[in-house]
Copies of this chain bind each other. A is one copy, B any other.
Amino acid sequence: MAPPTQPLTRSVEDYLKAIYQLSQGGSPAGTTEIANLLELAPASVTGMVKRLSEQGLLEHVPYKGVELTSAGRRAALKMVRRHRILESYLVAFLDYTWDTVHEEADRLEHAVSDRLIERMALALGNPSVDPHGDPIPAPDGSMVELVYTPLSEVPVGESVELRRVETRQADRLRYFAEHGLVPGASVTVTARQPFGGPTTVQTGDGDRLLGAELAGILLCARAGAR
């Protein structure tokens, strides 16, 4: 039952990761979506998708969309584990910050061995989340994905704990870090303007006004819900 798969190329690994990410929402990934994410022409995606379907990594319904097969998902989750362990390691031991680490991990994830990843994981104490609060799949591909509430939807008056930051954009990440808005931080929502207006929060760092976009990518654990 061991996967007899020949090693995947960098390109293939990138496609699988992208399709995994786009399928998160439940519906199959579209050609153009994939193309945008990988910064390729849609025609190139069609070609690769065809090859990967033949290899049994994808399920492709022409003109409809692509989904990962279980072999594809397994490979994608391995890449996600690599990426998140790498990010965690670089931040913990090599002075990277969460806004600079993504790029480095994106290159390294194609070059590391399983052995290296497991040693890094061990050195980190087998973490379950990365510096952004994203869950790290176990070596067997299992992953516990908790459901959090966007800060933009936390009722006024409630105190919550920041758990996860859903962006890789360096400028936003830097802004969050500068103001103590990192996983683990406690914040209280003190006000919110209507019609997609800003949310006001109280942090250990003082009060801060967050626009709807930023408040929407800060995911929080509410007291009762967990």
Contact = CB atoms under 8 A, between A and B. Distances in A.
Band of interface residues on A: 10 to 19
Contacts of A111: 107-108, 110-111
A95 interface: yes
Nearest to A94: B119
A93 B90 CA distance: 13
Integer count of this chain's copies in the complex: 2
A73 to B, nearest CB: 24
A18 interface: no
A108 B90 CA distance: 14
A112 B94 CA distance: 13
Nearest to A90: B116
Contacts of A113: 104, 107
Interface in A79-93: 90, 93
A71 interface: no
Nearest to A100: B115
A120 interface: yes
A185 interface: no
B123 A94 contact: yes
Contacts of A90: 116
A116 B94 CA distance: 8
Nearest to A113: B104
Contacts of A115: 104
Nearest to A103: B113
Nearest to A110: B111
Contacts of A108: 108, 111-112
A104 B96 CA distance: 22
Given A94-B120, A108-B111, A111-B111, 11 more contacts: A90-B116, A93-B93, A93-B123, A94-B116, A96-B119, A104-B112, A104-B113, A104-B116, A107-B111, A107-B113, A108-B112
Interchain residue pairs A-B with the least CB separation, the first 4: A111-B111, A94-B119, A107-B111, A108-B111
